[in-house]
Chains A and B, each alone.
Chain A
Amino acid sequence: MGSTLLKYIAQHQPDILLLQEIWSAADYAKIIKIGVEAGFELAGKRNGPNHGLQILIRKGAVKSVEAAGFSTMYKYGIVPFEWLGWVERGLMWAKIVLSDGQRVLIGNTHLTPFTSYYEVRSRQVGMMAKIIENLSFERDHVIVGGDFNIAADFQAYSQKKFTALKQAQWPYALFASTSGLRDAYRSVHPQHAGYSFNPLFDPKKNRVSIRADQRLDYIWAGERTRNSRLHITGAGIEFEGEHDGILPSDHFLVHATLELFQVP
């Protein structure tokens, strides 16, 4: 994980990195080390809730980080495996100020997985839209991303799977309408599927295959004042295949380039 992340930072020079599933103390320490050495400020606290989230903000890309925190959706989950693992779902956030004074709310989340839990996710996106609304008071822009575990686009190999995924799809439209944010990838790629999840990935097996067939990871963005504008100039997916002989993750990296400005 560490070497892949460092390689991406060196090659693409991202300003904001939204990371999920940093569960162990060792992984957390590794991320902190990588972030600090690469010139990033970290939004997350070491001893926070067990959400696995972190936001890395490149120091040179912003004027300041005004505040950061974590807003819970459910205290220790309502799905059995989350309750047993003391996993807390919510939104990690940071309020940043750009060099020209524009104020941006950054958010990172990881919603409950598995297709059958779509009703849980629908409640989560509803709560998240309210959290974003409250936090984005006096902000010019909002950028929220992460692993939403909602397959807006998918490919199913059986009627049963198709029906299940189709039924679980609607929280995507719910989040778009309640948050007022725009799907960055879809804003510039109307035709390409943009699958970001490989269900055949298994870190415990030596041999794994690639069959990307669901779009689960998103960057959402939008304006919060009458004069602010946010233009999505590019978006893409990285790490779909092997790197240094391994598959880095079951999720691929989704990225977007945004231009934030004000109009009279």
Chain B
Amino acid sequence: MSWAHNACELELLGVSPELNALTINQKIGEQKTSAVSTPQKLKVAT
């Protein structure tokens, strides 16, 4: 499990990985206000 699962204090066991991804991503987006430096942007394609 990634650290974010713990860091966000989410209890999502039993939830589909897709809904899990969506919820965690929203929570992490909210944490950008407490970033210690400017977030680094990466564009990835496959």
Interface SS majority for chain B: helix
Known interface pairs A224-B3, A231-B32; A190-B22 also in contact (CB < 8 Å): yes
A86 to B17, CA, bound (A): 34
A226 to B1, CA, bound (A): 12
Q: Which residues of B contact A262 (CB under 8 A)?
A: 35-37
Total residue contacts A-B, CB cutoff 8 A: 157
A side interface size, CB within 8 A: 63
Shortest C-beta distance, B9 to chain A (Å), equals 13
Q: Are A229 and B46 in contact (CB under 8 A)?
A: no
Q: Are B35 and A261 in contact (CB under 8 A)?
A: yes
Q: Which residues of A contact B31 (CB under 8 A)?
A: 229, 231, 263
Q: Which residues of B contact A108 (CB under 8 A)?
A: 46
Q: Are B45 and A254 in contact (CB under 8 A)?
A: yes
Q: Are A186 and B21 in contact (CB under 8 A)?
A: yes
Known interface pairs A176-B20, A222-B2; A143-B28 also in contact (CB < 8 Å): no
Q: Are B19 and A17 in contact (CB under 8 A)?
A: no
Q: Are B37 and A100 in contact (CB under 8 A)?
A: yes
Shortest C-beta distance, B17 to chain A (Å), equals 3
Determine whether A78 belongs to the interface, using a CB cutoff of 8 Å to chain B: no
Shortest C-beta distance, B40 to chain A (Å), equals 5
Determine whether A113 belongs to the interface, using a CB cutoff of 8 Å to chain B: no
Q: Which residues of A contact B36 (CB under 8 A)?
A: 261-264
Q: Are B28 and A99 in contact (CB under 8 A)?
A: no
Stretch from A27-35, A42-50, A116-124, A177-185 contacting the other chain: A177-185
Q: Could you give, for residues 1-35 of chain A, a 1 whenever the CB lies within 8 Å of some chain B CB and a 0 otherwise?
A: 00000001000111111111000000000000000
Interface centre among A182, A183, A254 (most CB of B within 10 A): A182
Q: Are A225 and B3 in contact (CB under 8 A)?
A: yes
A183 to B16, CA, bound (A): 11
A8 to B22, CA, bound (A): 27
Q: Are A231 and B28 in contact (CB under 8 A)?
A: yes
Q: Which residues of B contact A208 (CB under 8 A)?
A: none
Q: Are B42 and A15 in contact (CB under 8 A)?
A: yes
Q: Which residues of B contact A197 (CB under 8 A)?
A: none
Q: Which residues of B contact A256 (CB under 8 A)?
A: 43-45
Q: Are A230 and B18 in contact (CB under 8 A)?
A: no
Query: Considering the complex of A and B, which 7 residue pairs feature the smallest CB-CB distances, nearest first?
Result: A176-B17, A259-B39, A180-B2, A261-B39, A182-B21, A18-B46, A145-B46
Give 18 A-B pairs besides A14-B44, A145-B46, A262-B37 with Cβ atoms closer than 8 angstroms: A16-B42, A16-B44, A18-B46, A100-B40, A152-B18, A180-B5, A182-B24, A183-B21, A186-B21, A188-B25, A229-B32, A231-B25, A231-B29, A257-B43, A257-B44, A258-B42, A259-B39, A262-B36
Partner-B contacts on A (CB < 8 A): 8, 12-20, 61, 98-100, 102, 104, 108, 143, 145-147, 152, 172-173, 176-177, 180-184, 186-188, 190, 217-219, 221-226, 228-233, 238, 253-264
